[in-house]
Structure formats: C-alpha cells, structure tokens
Amino acid sequence: MGLEILRETSLNAHIKSLKKRKKENTVDTMSMVSRAPSLTTVIDYIEEHKEKLQRVNEFDFDTLKFCKELGRKSALSVMTIHVLQQLHIDQLPNMNQLKLSRFLGRIYKGYRRDVEYHNDMHAVDVLQMSYLFLTRGRIVAFAQLSELDALSVCISAICHDFDHDGFNNAYHVNKISDRAIRYSDQSVQEHYHAAESFALLSKDEIQAWKE
C-alpha cells in the first residue's frame, strides 16, 4: 500500500513538472525553433562542418555537443543526409532529394522541445549509433542488408520516438488516454510513433520514395 502511494505521488509530481515546462514554452518560441533548414542549407552545412562529421563513425562521438555546435534545428537533417551519403544511399533511384528534405523537416518539427529526453537530439543520437552498428559493427555485411534495408534502419532511427509527449506507456494506460484506447494498452507509445511516422510518409508532398 505504501509503495502504491509512493508511486502515485511520484507520478503526480512528474506530471506537474511536465505541465509547468509545457506552459513555459510559448507558441511563438516553439514555432521559431521548429523551422528546419532547406536542402541547400543542409548541403552547405555538411561541407562547412566536414571535420566534425568525420568523427560520426566513432563510438565516443558527442551528439549533444554536435547539436549545440551545429544548431539544434539543423542537426537532425544534417546528420541524416551525411549518414545516407556515407552509406552511398543518398542517391537511390527514384529518391526525391527535395521531398526528403521536407520529410526531415517535418520529423524535426514533430519532436517536442519541451520533452527532455525523447526529443530530436535523442533521434540524432540513435541515428549515429545505428550508423555505427551498420558500418563498424559490420551489420550490413553479416546480415547482407540491401540498400533499402540500410535506408529503412536510418529512417526508423530518426522516427522511433516521433511526437513523443514525455510520458511512458504506464502513464497512458493508467490515464486511459486516447493513445492507450487506440492501441488497446499494447506498446502504446511504440505503436503511436510508428503509426504517426507512416502517416507522415504517406503524404505526397514529402513521400521521397513513392515513385
């Protein structure tokens, strides 16, 4: 009984803290930081930050420092395009570069800046580590991954927590939230991130691989 009270108190304190942070973020501030760079700007950034990007294939690469130095609104797009270039899958047949840039911008915008961990910087971190597994971990060779397989790994890495609200599955289940109801209490957040990402990919204006 005492443990249940402690859990409830801890959960209520966490919810109160998140609501406070959300209130402190104004609409104007959120819209300003949500504008990701254009494809031309991304390519320029990759050229400009060659030295930093050379260390992406190292295990001690500091993604948080990278995001801070490059600028948070640019980091996700720059890291993704750079990784695709290094894997030689940035010019796959029927890949529309402009739509890819728009897609990355929408993914960045979908990650909330008032969520401390499951945010756009976490997506950059997971992408960088996934790249290490594919290359230095030799997953591409061992698993005989195709170019489409490698591309799927990279896109999954940046989308895996898309539109995370800062709460966990237990919170949604206990709250009986819309997300929990929609996914019958089963892997609520994971199903939500995947569904929202696929919904985004289905839009013609950002479907980079449709044709």
Residues annotated as part of the active site: 118
Cα–Cα distance measured from residue 196 to residue 60, given in angstroms and rounded to the nearest whole number: 32
Cα–Cα distance measured from residue 14 to residue 8, given in angstroms and rounded to the nearest whole number: 10
Cα–Cα distance measured from residue 198 to residue 116, given in angstroms and rounded to the nearest whole number: 24
Using CA atoms, how far residue 97 sits from 35, 43, 44, in Å, is: 18, 11, 15
